[in-house]
Structures are given as structure tokens and as C-alpha cells.
Amino acid sequence: MATHVLPTQNAPGPQPPGKVGAGLLDPKQLVRSLPDAFRKLNPATLWRNPVMFIVEIGAVFTTVLAIMDPSFFAWAIVVWLWLTALFANLAEAVAEGRGKAQAATLRAAKRDTNARRLKDWTAGRRELAWDTVGATDLKQGDHVVVEAGEIIPGDGDVVDGIASVDESAITGESAPVIRESGGDRSAVTGGTKVLSDRIIVKITQKPGESFIDRMIALVEGASRQKTPNEIALNILLAALTIIFLIATVTMQPLAIYSKAQNPGVPDSLALTADGVTGIVLVSLLVCLIPTTIGALLSAIGIAGMDRLVQRNVLAMSGRAVEAAGDVSTLLLDKTGTITLGNRQASEFHPVEGVSADDLAAAAQLSSLADETPEGRSIVVYAKQAYGLRERQPGELAHATWVPFTAQTRMSGVDVDGRQIRKGAAAAVMKWIRDAGGHPSDEVGHIVDGISAAGGTPLVVGEISEGQAHVLGVVHLKDVVKQGMRERFDEMRRMGIKTVMITGDNPLTARAIAEEAGVDDFLAEATPEDKLALIKKEQEGGRLVAMTGDGTNDAPALAQADVGVAMNTGTSAAKEAGNMVDLDSNPTKLIEIVEIGKQLLITRGALTTFSIANDIAKYFAIIPAMFAAVYPGLDTLNIMRLSSPQSAILSAVIFNALVIIALIPLALRGVRYRPESAEKLLSRNLYMYGLGGIIAPFVGIKVIDLLIQFLPGM
């Protein structure tokens, strides 16, 4: 261990690389995932999927029968039954493979890192004693010092200093971010890089439970647990499988009885004096049970979380993704979410006796040295609306610039014998009165009118030649982001209620809410108010989603059904939420809801398709089995398949191929449209219900035409 005096400033490090976007499904991924698909054929793994477990048992059974009584038809059925089980595993393997590719990128950020762990650190100390330890040896509560060019060794909060941090390894975003002690932007993530200055970080993670560790486990699917809806659907599929299994088993005594009643009918490949052959019976069972959705169900869930990861959102569980799809109330912060957050000058209101040009010139002059977004907007607006040339502070070398302070609540300039100030209405008018001026009632009316419209008034005053008077008022408008009203209209069509949360007074909040088009608002909101609002909505049976980044947001994030914490926020906020937005973009909440709904729609659509296409397979196999005994059943052979053997094999082949054909749709998701539940259900039944009936008729007939000339067909 050594004692060092650390410098307070360092040169910036190299800039981070550009963001690498997430690609679409790579067709080569199917080939790369084949080894994993074969490994998943292990019964110890496959039994968790009851539908496909039955398929594998059937494949084993038919393999034994084909060995005992070999024929081309028997071995063809065996091959396609095994391919059915393999394709089902391939769907899940491809989904997991995409996650593993993302995990490899994340592991690049989790390298062997040493940490400089401090001893007896207290705020304000400049001489810091530290010893070097491995990052994996850090414990909760340890303090480490990180300088420019070094990797932050673990998750924690900045407790001293301010630095520029490269988070591209986590977020993919090349632009560095500022992290500083205090406030809501103190959290840092292990594996990110400090670019400038130095910070002291208090470690908040446990060994092996870092943010990156959790991300890797989630995107690889290692810690993925089935959601309640997924469990319920699995139970339904298992119940359908049992029903069809019983129905198929009852075919055997029925076939024996039918054959006994019609002894003159010659034996066929499907029906003998001993009943239905075992291979045909298994083929019927596999074709009737919902193998399509059974094969794709797990892949749909994994892909839903993958789509969130592609948008830089980390879901702590699949339950959170599902809940996002069922959300019926959105709580959105005004600043930065609904509005741009930076108020901008939108109008100059001169008082009587003052021209608009004179007010614009004074407002611009007083704002030349004001580097705030509001001050810059006044300069730009004066230039654009009144044609005033944008000057620089350096051009007025003889001017005295008056900076804004929390005490005066004003800023301005003293130049050419004039004192010009702009700022809060009460502060500027007091300044005028103290100088002997008498602001008119007109100023108060203008200020009240701007506040009632949801804006922020800045009064501009001047003292010249011993005379103090108000020139007018600048209207600063909290600009609503473009397209927000349309987005909220979409939410409304989906049956989702939007609530704007703001610390503004009710008048300002109402004006912004009406302009943005939200359904309701909560003004002068406190953490207790947010929590109470969430509980009230949930008591009405609604699922609530909200975003937050501060420690004071943690109770509400924990209470919400979908709590999205900003990555720039505090550790308390990220621990309380069940999702973390790595981009720290509050509007991402709307996308998260859409992704959740797309997950539910995709699952529902493919379930509808899977159950519907059993109808066509019924029409293919049942006539093939019993038409010889009951000639009247031949009328059900509406596809006019060439032979019983061809009909059965065609149905089995189609049953396998449809799984592989639907893998891209399961991973990409059914296209989402902001519509009511009734319209979504109607479209789902029309496209995937009717489509699920028609597609197998076409597919089975085409396959029959292709295989009818094979041996034994």
C-alpha cells in the first residue's frame, strides 16, 4: 500500500468508438445454432416443453417401429418427426444465440480490472491512501478512486468529484456523459471508462452481481423465467395435448372394431386387422397437437427481451416485458419527456410606450453573455424575428456583464450608461422600484397572462439617465416535442391513459397538458403524490408504468407494474425499477409499451395460427386412415391427395416445415398497430385464424404433388 497525492485535473482520454447498431436476423444464425438445437434434444431439457416432449417420445417410438418393420414410408415419418423436434429446438436456439452474441459484446466491457481501493476515506481529503486489489475483490461500501483513462471497476455512486465517462461499452452511445457527486446523475457502471478528471466511487454491488453480470445472464437467457401468461399458455397447450392424446388412443379400438365389421376390406398401410398402425397413430397425434406454438413459445419470449436489449433497455424479468404489454396507465414526466426541457423565447411583449424593436434589442443585449439555453434562445429569437445581428460579448469590451445568481434572480449588462436587467418578474420590478421607478399594472397583467398560458415570463428592465422603467416581458415557452400529440392519440386508441407529472403550478401544468394532448396531469407533484397516484390507479385494476431517475422516485418505481429507471439515475432508482433504460431517454417508455404489446400480439397470433391449421391436417389424415373402411369419408378428402401414405407424410412434413418458416416471425414479432383491442382481435382472427386454416390446405397439397412419385407413395 502507498500514499499518493492525486492530481485534480487530467487531460481527456481518447474518444469512445461509434455506436454499433443491433442487426436483424442473420440467416447464417440458423446454421450456427444447429449444435445447440441438437443438445436441446436431451429429454432432461425437453421435458419442460410438454408438447415437444411428446413429439420426441413419438419420434423414439416410431424409430423402434421402423427398425422392426422397415419401409420407405416408415423411415420418412421417422426422419420428419425428429426434424419437427429439432426445428422446435432450433427456434429457441436461434433466439438464445442472438442473446449470446450480445453477451459477447458485453463481456468485452467486463475485463480483468484492478481497483485502487481507498482506506478511511472522508469527504474533502486530498491525500488518499489506497491499495491495489482486483475488481472482483471489491465489496459493498468500498471506496475506489478512478482517473482519466482508467476503467471503473464496479457499479457504484460518485461521492466526490466530477468526470466525463465513456459508457459506449454498455449503451453503445459514443457521446461521453458527465457523472458527478450528489444529485441524480451520480451512478456509474463497472466496465465504463473515465475520460477526464477523477472521481471517487462508492461500490454498491455485491461480487458477481454487477450490472454487466446481470445483463449477460439476461440476454443469454440463463436467468429467464417463464412469465405468468407463458405458464398459463403452457398449461393450456399441455391440456390440449392430453385431450388429443386421449382422442388418438381411442382411434385404436375404433379402428379394430371397424375392421372387424368390414373383413372384406384389404389391409392398408394405415389400417390393419390389428387397428391403426403405430406410425400412423403417432403421425396423427403429432399433427393434431399444437406443435407450432409449442415450438415457438419460448423463442417468442426470448425475442421480446432481445428487442428491448436492441433498444438499450434492460428488463430484469420477462414478467416486466409482459406487464408492459398490459399497461393501461402511463405516468410521464413533463420535462425532457413531453417537452424539450429547455424553455425557449417565443414572443416579446413590450409595455405601452416601448416599441417591440427596442424591447428585442435590450433583451438580446442582456442575454449575450447568458450561456443558459433560455438566454441563447432569446438571442436567436431576436435575430430571427426582428432581424437583429447576433453580437458576441467580446464586441462589447467596455461592457460589464452581470451574471445570474440565485440571490438576485437576474442577469444583464451595464453598457453605454445603461443598466439592463432581465429575470424573474418580482426580482426585476423590485430592482426598478429600488431605483425610483414605478412599474405599471400592465406588467402584472402580461406576466399573469403568460403564466396562465403555461409559459415563463422574464421581465426586462432598464435604468438610463437616472430613469428606471420596465421595457416589457419575454415569453419563454416550454416547447412540447414534435409528434407527442400524435403519440398520445395512439396511446388513447390503444386504451392507455396518459398522465403528465410536473412540479409546475396547476395553471402552467394545465396549459402544457392541453397542448400535448395528455389525458390528465398531476401538478406540484411530490414523491408521495406519485406513489399515491400509482396506488389509486392500481386499485381500479389498471397496470401502471412510469419512469424515474432520482432516489425520491424509488418508491414509485417499486410500486409501478413497469418501473423504468434511467441509467443516469441513482443506484436506488435502478434497484427499485424492473427495467433500466441505458440511453436515459424518458420517451423510451412509450416504445417499451409497444414492444410489450407486440410480444403479446405475436404470441396470440401464432397460437391462433397453430390451433387453426390443425383443421387442415384433420382433413388430410382422417380420410386417409378410414376411407377404405368407410368410403363415405372420401368426401372429406377435399384436397384430393394421391394416396393415404402421401396424405399422412405430407401432413407430417408440413407440420415440421411450418415451424422453421415461422421462426423469423417469432423473432421479429408481428407488426404492431396502435388499435383498440377489438380491432386487434378481429385482425388477428382474420389473418392468423383464417390464414392458419388456408395455409395448410395449400402447403399439404403442394407437398403431396412433390412426393407422390416417391417409392411406396
**Active site amino acids:** 333
11: left (phi over 0), alpha (psi -120 to 50) or beta: beta
The CA distances from residue 155 to 182, 195, 314, 557, in Å, are 16, 17, 15, 20
The neighbour count for residue 108, using CB atoms within 10 Å, is 11
User: Residue 477: which of 446, 511, 443 has the closest Cα?
Assistant: 511
Report which of 43, 82, 86, 89 is spatially closest to residue 61, judged by C-alpha positions: 82
Annotated binding residues:
370, 374, 404-411, 422, 549, 553
The string of DSSP letters for 100-161 reads HHHHHHHHHHS---EEEEESS--TT--EEEEEEEEGGG--TT-EEEEETTPBP-S-EEEEEE
Which residues on adjacent β-strands are paired with residue 164?
Answer: 178
Residue type, 341: G
> CB-side exposure of 328: number of CA atoms within 13 Å?
10
3-class DSSP state for residue 632? helix
Distance CA 423, CA 432 (A): 12
Q: How far apart are the first and last CA of the chain?
A: 82
- Burial of 667-699, coded b for 16+ CB within 10 Å and e otherwise, reads bebbebebeeeeebeebbbeebbebbbebbbeb
Binding positions for Mg(2+): 549, 553
Q: What are phi and psi of 405, to 5 degrees?
A: -135, 155
**Residues counted in the chain:** 713
Residue that has been written with the C-alpha cell 368426401 in this structure: 635
Residue 553 DSSP code: G
Annotated binding site for ATP: 370, 374, 404-411, 422
DSSP state of 633: G
Helix, strand, coil % over all residues of the chain, rounded to 5 = 50, 20, 30
Closest of 200, 213, 206 to residue 163, by C-alpha: 200
Alpha carbon 60 to its chain centroid, in Å, reads 41
